[in-house]
A and B are shown apart, each in its own frame.
Chain A
Amino acid sequence: MSKTLFDKVWDSHVVKHIENGPDVLFIDRHLVHEVTSPVAFLGLKNRGIKVLYPERTFATADHNTPTRNQHLPVKDPLSANQLRALEENANAHGIPYWGLGHEKNGIVHVIGPENGITLPGATIVCGDSHTSTHGAFGAIAFGIGTSEVEMVLSTQCIMQPKPKSLRININGELSKAVTPKDVALFIISKLTTSGATGYFAEYAGDVFKNMSMEGRMTVCNLSIEMGARGGMIAPDETTFEYIKEREYTPKGKDWDAAMEYWSTLYSDKNAQFDKELTFEASEIEPMITFGTNPGMGIGISEDIPLAESIEGSPATYKKSLEYMDYNEGEAMVGKPIDFVFLGSCTNGRIEDFRAFASIIKGRKKADNVTAWLVPGSHKVEAAIKEEGILDILTEAGFELREPGCSACLAMNDDKIPAGKYAVSTSNRNFEGRQGPGARTLLASPLVAAAAAVTGKVTDPRELMQEEVLA
């Protein structure tokens, strides 16, 4: 029988199926961070049990960590307490822990792939909704709650009904300045934040085939923002090339055996999906959001839609625009901004910093803009330095911070002040997401860079044209 890529990976991980109930799904790799794990470890303690497979478990500190002076003790006592708890729990259970200052430290969804923990055909979970990132490698990866973290720690399994399948095809060639982030924001704007709830997505077509691993990670990362449990892309040469020789990837004979399995990971020709959507690459332009959920995005040259043209509750839509202090029908281009945030598990990888640098090179940061540039990991930070990107940033008046989730969810000191506008390469523009009262415009690193040097929402294509003319 023809199977989808998702079916192949899911079905091979079912330990037991419960009639009119969930599947017991075996989890190959479990990523743990400081915020969603302490109560789960406490649960194990109360039951008097240990982590079943510590060698399948990896812990890092990222959500509440400072992005400056990481060599000093963490000032916030609550954050420090959570970090200490993770370190103690990891040590008590024999789990590798990459805490602050460790060379492998970074955002959980950046370091998984970087170190070869993320592999095709694997099941990967983490107490974080953006675990969908790892689907870029052809893994089934999704976010779980703390009760489920406790389940995986204690039994290496979770219990979930199999989601429905959705395939999103995009063919053709992307236009200039259109990045993977724009592709994802475009899809979410078409589907809304709940359009894929109950589904697991597969991305297929030229656009994803031609995309780098970093780009695929950005797209899969944002799957949750259309409500999907996760999103995945069939592994190919690009995937294998990326993972080869990384620390935790199989080597020698094990690699050959793995390759044999990985080469079977694609949706069969006649595989049936519960839902299938197709778009053309040429439909997509650089995107920006104007509201308070990631589905409220438009092409940067478009105007904010009228309430009457929107599906869903007009009251909710108006409440959202009121929070942003925007009016329907207004243009986004030219809107003043105060902050720029480059980073997060969505866009905190080396390619994102390269893209940002390509725009700001030879320009200066606008005086009215505060910019927070936060690499996704120490390895990304090292690459930024090695490739000379740091020099470009410094020359343009920018400063590089230390790795972490930072202003994406503002659990540390990196909070956008109330009422201020931030062009942010992160993943959520919910009310108060980047700090109480903060207003977020989600966009790509190119759009963020254009805003950073002009001090307002700017179409990056304008700045790129100048370059061509020069």
Chain B
Amino acid sequence: MAYDKFNILTSSAVPLPIENVDTDQIIPARFLKATERKGFGDNLFRDWRYNSDDTPKEQFVLNNPIYSGKILVGGKNFGSGSSREHAAWAVYDYGFRCVVSSFFADIFRNNCLNIGVLPVQVSPEFLDKIFKAIEADPKTELEINLPEQKITILASGESESFEINDYKKGNMLNGFDDIDYLLNIQEDIEKYAENTPL
């Protein structure tokens, strides 16, 4: 599925300063029973967000109206655990287009890149600055500049560069996906397969 193009995103951000946020928290397994990619945002962080009787947990950040925006800022080792892409879908479907952390789990990072959510890895020090800036002003804006690979806290002007390989960057900028690429080299693949016994 081709996805939205990503260029420069300027938005306030939602802070989640917890480490090792695993994909079972992002979306619990009991919500993985759909056969279509629809409605996962409703269950994003389900058990942190709602009580067992489905009333909202007021202290959880997604239920706090002072925080909003298209950027989710998480603690170190964000997205560990299960490979469920549903976690990335839930993040996207809720309205986030970018997740910032000082460290991402591999599969979650790949899943995000494959659906058009940009994972931005910053230094622990810069992550701390972002959390402090949001704490001081929940409406503080971040600018994610993909062409320049730069993240900026607009109020203070502090910025840091981030890594992304050229291929994935091109995909994100143009809204291409890997299958488009692979279908174009199918001849090479078939040639390889001919020489590879089962």
Q: If the complex has contacts A145-B114, A436-B47, are A64 and B33 also in contact, measured as CB distance less than 8 A?
A: yes
B19 engages A431 (CB within 8 Å): no
Residues 152 to 188 of chain A near chain B (Cβ within 8 Å): 154-161, 163
CA distance A41 to B189 in the complex (A): 20
Q: If the complex has contacts A28-B196, A157-B182, are A21 and B80 also in contact, measured as CB distance less than 8 A?
A: no
User: Is A82's beta carbon under 8 Å from chain B?
Assistant: yes
Q: If the complex has contacts A18-B167, A146-B85, are A227 and B77 also in contact, measured as CB distance less than 8 A?
A: yes
Contact with B along A22-33 (1 / 0, CB 8 A): 101010100000
A227 engages B37 (CB within 8 Å): no
Residues of B within 8 A of A127 (CB): 83, 85
Q: If the complex has contacts A81-B33, A293-B20, are A147 and B1 also in contact, measured as CB distance less than 8 A?
A: yes
B193 engages A53 (CB within 8 Å): yes
CA distance A22 to B177 in the complex (A): 13
Q: If the complex has contacts A18-B167, A147-B111, are A35 and B36 also in contact, measured as CB distance less than 8 A?
A: no
B47 engages A432 (CB within 8 Å): yes
Q: If the complex has contacts A35-B33, A39-B35, A129-B83, are A418 and B52 also in contact, measured as CB distance less than 8 A?
A: yes
Instruction: Among A155, A312, A436, point to the contact of B183 (Cβ < 8 A).
Output: A155
A436 engages B33 (CB within 8 Å): no
B83 engages A197 (CB within 8 Å): no
User: Is A396's beta carbon under 8 Å from chain B?
Assistant: no
A227 engages B80 (CB within 8 Å): yes
Task: Pick the interface stretch among B24-32, B60-68, B152-160.
Answer: B24-32
Q: If the complex has contacts A82-B35, A431-B47, are A155 and B186 also in contact, measured as CB distance less than 8 A?
A: yes
Task: Pick the interface stretch among B6-14, B100-108, B138-146.
Answer: B100-108
A194 engages B189 (CB within 8 Å): no
Q: How far is the CB of B178 from chain A (nearest CB, A)?
A: 5
A313 engages B75 (CB within 8 Å): yes
User: Is A101's beta carbon under 8 Å from chain B?
Assistant: no
A42 engages B36 (CB within 8 Å): yes
A154 engages B82 (CB within 8 Å): no
A197 engages B77 (CB within 8 Å): yes
User: Is A321's beta carbon under 8 Å from chain B?
Assistant: no
A16 engages B188 (CB within 8 Å): yes
Instruction: Among B22, B47, B85, B166, point to the contact of A20 (Cβ < 8 A).
Output: B166
CA distance A436 to B19 in the complex (A): 20
CA distance A39 to B103 in the complex (A): 28
User: Is B90's beta carbon under 8 Å from chain A?
Assistant: no
CA distance A158 to B193 in the complex (A): 14
CA distance A127 to B86 in the complex (A): 11
B24 engages A151 (CB within 8 Å): no
CA distance A160 to B178 in the complex (A): 10
B24 engages A148 (CB within 8 Å): no
Q: How far is the CB of B23 from chain A (nearest CB, A)?
A: 9
- In the complex, the chain A residue whose C-beta lies closest to that of B38 is A39
A39 engages B37 (CB within 8 Å): yes
Residues of B within 8 A of A246 (CB): none
Instruction: Among A21, A79, A155, point to the contact of B182 (Cβ < 8 A).
Output: A155
Residues of A within 8 A of B57 (CB): none
Residues of A within 8 A of B22 (CB): 293, 428, 430
User: Is A275's beta carbon under 8 Å from chain B?
Assistant: no
User: Is A198's beta carbon under 8 Å from chain B?
Assistant: yes
Residues of A within 8 A of B80 (CB): 193-194, 227, 293
- In the complex, the chain A residue whose C-beta lies closest to that of B18 is A316
User: Is A420's beta carbon under 8 Å from chain B?
Assistant: no
Contact with A along B78-111 (1 / 0, CB 8 A): 0011111110100000000000000111110011
Residues of B within 8 A of A224 (CB): 81
B198 engages A81 (CB within 8 Å): no
Q: How far is the CB of A277 from chain B (nearest CB, A)?
A: 19
B183 engages A15 (CB within 8 Å): no
Residues of A within 8 A of B85 (CB): 36, 39, 127, 145-147
CA distance A96 to B37 in the complex (A): 25
Instruction: Among A26, A150, A418, point to the contact of B192 (Cβ < 8 A).
Output: A26
Q: If the complex has contacts A26-B193, A159-B182, A430-B25, are A194 and B105 also in contact, measured as CB distance less than 8 A?
A: yes
User: Is A319's beta carbon under 8 Å from chain B?
Assistant: yes
Residues 176 to 190 of chain B near chain A (Cβ within 8 Å): 177-179, 181-183, 185-186, 188-189
User: Is A411's beta carbon under 8 Å from chain B?
Assistant: yes
B24 engages A428 (CB within 8 Å): yes
Q: If the complex has contacts A154-B182, A293-B22, are A410 and B29 also in contact, measured as CB distance less than 8 A?
A: yes
CA distance A143 to B87 in the complex (A): 14
Residues 82 to 120 of chain A near chain B (Cβ within 8 Å): 82, 85
B110 engages A433 (CB within 8 Å): no
Q: If the complex has contacts A36-B84, A143-B107, A312-B19, are A254 and B182 also in contact, measured as CB distance less than 8 A?
A: no
Residues of A within 8 A of B114 (CB): 145, 147-148
B29 engages A229 (CB within 8 Å): no
Interface centre among A39, A55, A147, A156 (most CB of B within 10 A): A147
Residues of B that sit less than 8 Å from A by CB: 1, 17-20, 22, 24-25, 28-30, 32-37, 47, 52, 75-77, 80-86, 88, 103-107, 110-111, 114-115, 165-168, 177-179, 181-183, 185-186, 188-189, 192-193, 196-198
Known: A411-B29, A428-B81. 11 other contacts (CB 8 A): A35-B84, A76-B33, A78-B33, A145-B111, A146-B85, A147-B114, A156-B189, A157-B189, A161-B165, A257-B197, A313-B19
Residues of A that sit less than 8 Å from B by CB: 15-16, 18-22, 24, 26, 28, 35-36, 38-39, 42-43, 46-47, 49, 52-53, 55-56, 63-64, 76, 78-79, 81-82, 85, 127-129, 131, 143-148, 150-151, 154-161, 163, 193-194, 197-198, 224, 227, 229, 250, 254, 257, 293, 312-313, 315-316, 319, 409-411, 418, 428, 430-433, 436-437
Q: Which 3 A-B pairs have the closest CB atoms?
A: A21-B167, A145-B85, A147-B114
